[in-house]
Structure 1
């Protein structure tokens, strides 16, 4: 079951709740009993040792797809 992080606007406490994805937007009370909370965006760091892909000749022209001509 996914864990979601919330912050209480009343006391500033940050807490986590495990709940189904279908209930991710449901209101949450903080552990102190306050009901003015907001769901936080969480970042997920995934570690590993996957090899770094080599740069293609098109992508080395500077700028990548933002004007570097790698698309097409």
Structure 2
């Protein structure tokens, strides 16, 4: 079930909505179906299947734990 972002053309409400099958989306604030579908950054990919992952996290200091090297539980 895809998640879409919309901006209502009537009341300018910005919202996200999970769209099921042939459901016609409507603004949750004013109930109009006069919407602009927005480009979602989540839905955009490079086309090569690479989503920015470099593989499994490495040893200490490379997993990105914000507490710094030696703080993660990967050891």
Normalised by the length of structure 2, the TM-score is 0.47
Question: Between Structure 1 and Structure 2, whose CA radius of gyration is higher?
Answer: 1
